[in-house]
Amino acid sequence: MKIILLGPPGAGKGTIAKLLTEYDGSVQISTGDILRAAVAAGTELGKQAEAAMSAGNLVTDELIMGIMEQRLQEGDCKNGYLLDGFPRTIPQAEALQVLLEKMGEKLDAVLELDIARDIIIGRLTTRRTCAQCGEIYNVISKPPKVEGVCDVCGSNEIVQRDDETEEAISNRLEVYQDQTAPLSDFYKNTGLLTSVMSSDKETVMTALGPKIG
């Protein structure tokens, strides 16, 4: 399946992407993960993205389209993909349409996660990430088995992301309202949009069923 996951930070896009990859072997493509890896590796791309990211602002559309144009042509995209964190602006959505047309591909659905703001803020301020492998924890609902040690890779660098301070979070939510929320109407007009108010498996599969068969 070829799906866009749309929703504010902390809505559960990453979790749903993982769930759907297990369903049919589609790959999860997270622009946030790609950018964080570039920052960690100190590449040219990382240097260009770093300042905007830690403030919770968007990186430029040009930078993102450069990444995505390459990424969508890699072999593992043949079985489908779940776009997590992209597109994030109307110009990105328009550029994606042009790109897909050029590649002769069509999206199956745009799944919008419509999650209440207080739930999101609660989730984000308690979120922790393994700086080594990217595994996500939550100090309340999903702590690592051994405090401070990553279950997956054993690293003891379980950290709060720079952009998950209270200040950066409120900025990210504002950026979402201004720049990304308009995509909901954009995709409603294409007939691809499905909205859910909860990110549990059953709700998501029921909503997507008619689109993915």
Among Zn ion, ligand ADP, none, what binds residue 133 when CB lies within 5 to 8 Å by partner kind?
A: Zn ion
Alpha helices in 72-188 (DSSP H): 90-103, 117-125, 166-175, 183-188
Choose, by CB under 6 A, the member of 163, 187, 194, 208 that binds ligand ADP.
163
Residues between 16 and 35 that touch ligand ADP (CB under 6 A): 31-32, 35
Smallest gap from residue 169 Cβ to ligand ADP (A):
9
Smallest gap from residue 153 Cβ to Zn ion (A):
3
- Contact between 126 and 140 under an 8 Å Cβ cutoff? The reply is yes
- Contact between 166 and 56 under an 8 Å Cβ cutoff? The reply is no
Q: Cis before residue 87, ω within 30 degrees of 0?
A: yes
Q: Which position among 2, 88, 123, 128 bears the catalytic label?
A: 88
Residue nearest to ligand ADP according to CB distances in the complex: 32
Catalytic status, residue 123? no
Catalytic status, residue 88? yes
Partners of 149 in the β-ladder: 146
Q: What ranges make up the beta strands (E) of the chain?
A: 2-6, 27-30, 81-84, 109-113, 127-130, 136-138, 158-159, 193-196
Binding status of residue 12 toward ligand ADP by CB under 6 A: no
- Reading the block at residue 143, the tokens are 């702590």
Among Zn ion, ligand ADP, none, what binds residue 58 when CB lies within 5 to 8 Å by partner kind?
A: ligand ADP
Stretch that binds Zn ion, among 27-35, 131-139, 194-202, 205-213 (CB under 5 A): 131-139
Task: Name the residues annotated as catalytic.
Answer: 13, 88, 127, 161, 172
